[in-house]
Every structure is written in C-alpha cells, then in structure tokens.
Amino acid sequence: MAKSSKKKVQSGGFSEKKYIRERVRNLPVEVCYYIPGWEESGETSVLVVRRHPQGTLTVGAYLVDTWCTGVKDTWYVFSIPQDEFDDILDRFPPMEEIGYAEVHNLILGAVEFAEEAGIAPHRDFALTQFILDEDGDDVPLIEYVYGRDGRHFLCCESRLEASRYLPALEKNVPGAYDYVIDDGDDDELDECDESEYDFVE
C-alpha cells in the first residue's frame, strides 16, 4: 500500500493522536476511495477522508485482506491540503469513489473475520480505527462474503510471513483454512507443508 511521506510535526501541547482518538469522528467524511476487484483478488486499499473546518484533510488508509488477515496495514496523514492528498492518491493504482457505509462495513467485517481465526489487525489500527465512525446503528449494515469458498485463505509472499499466521489459524480454525506462498513466480503457487515451519507463537 502506498505510503505517505508527510512528516508529523507537533507543537506546544497539541497531539495529533489525541485529536484522532477524541475528535476526528466529529469531522464530516469528505470522500472514500477503494481499489475495485477485491472480490476476485481478496485484497483492496481503502482511503477514508475527513475535512477539517479550515478545509484541510485527515486521511485514514487501510490495506484490507478480505480472505484471511483483515487489516494488513494502515496509516494516516493529518490535516493536509488538497494538493498533498492528490499526490497521495496518485501513488495508488487507479481508485474509485465509494460510499462510506460500504467501506465501513468492508473494513470492520474483514477485521471481525480475521479475529475469528485469532488474527488481530495491524497494530496501527488501534489509532486509525477512530477515523472510521463508531460501529453502530447510525451506519447501515452491509454484509459481505469473506474468505474464499467459505474458508480462511492465507496468501503470503514468503514462508516467513506465513509462519506469523499459521499457528493462529491452526489453533482457531483447524481444518477450515487454506494457504499458499505467492512469491511472484509464474509457476504454480507453492502449497506449503506445515511440517517445514518453525512457527512463531
């Protein structure tokens, strides 16, 4: 997922993180974007943009794995001008606008699906979750289908990455998951043998 190069500068007693935790939900959602095709690929990037009264934008970015691991990566930029946001948007593959309710349900549903397998969202989601509205009746419920063929499906770029997740899958959904190593080779994906791993607990 494209990263922002913006440096966070704090002055006086102001704290961006405190503002995000306590106040950013009071800002209106300006627009949301996503990369279409997640139903086939199992993955998408999502941007949720909120507008400050002075016209600047706070952006939450989420790399969402709908097949297994939920929010794989997340970051934010705080109170940036429109041209800086346009630069960020240009770093992503082509994105499309989408309604807030859709991305809200997509992200939180993916997190819930991953947690069924004992997989927590990226650690920075502890903060960027506050850029999303609180989950409740104010946001219409939209149900998406997670996993592949009704099962958790883990697709990793290396055996080391797989070793981060497989112990949780085996503990929480034994026999109800599949996994492959996708190292970018054109050959058939490597279906891993658990006996080859020294799993990280």
pLDDT at 10 over 60: no
Distance CA 29, CA 32 (A): 8
* Alpha-carbon separation of residue 27 from 7, 56, 168 (angstroms): 22, 11, 37
pLDDT at 198 over 90: no
Q: Cβ(159)–Cβ(196) under 8 Å? A: yes
Return the amino acid letter for 65.
D
Q: Which residue in the block uniquely carries the two structure tokens 């791993």? A: 197
Per-residue confidence (pLDDT) for residue 189, from 0 to 100: 40
* pLDDT tens figures, 52-108: 999 999 999 999 999 999 999 999 999 999 999 999 999 999 999 999 999 999 999
34 DSSP β-pair partners:
46, 96
* pLDDT tens figures, 16-59: 999 999 999 999 999 999 999 999 999 999 999 999 999 999 99
pTM of the predicted model, to two decimals?
0.86
Return the amino acid letter for 159.
R
What is the share, in percent, of the chain residues with pLDDT greater than 90?
Answer: 80
For residue 181, name the pLDDT band (cuts at 50, 70, 90).
Answer: confident
User: What are the two backbone dihedrals, phi and then psi, of residue 164, each rounded to the nearest 5 degrees?
Assistant: -75, -30
Q: Cβ(154)–Cβ(70) under 8 Å? A: no
Distance CA 28, CA 51 (A): 6
pLDDT at 4 over 70: no
Q: What sign for the dihedral angle of Cα 175, 177, 183, 188? A: positive
Distance CA 62, CA 199 (A): 27
- SS3 state of residue 154: strand
Per-residue confidence (pLDDT) for residue 47, from 0 to 100: 98
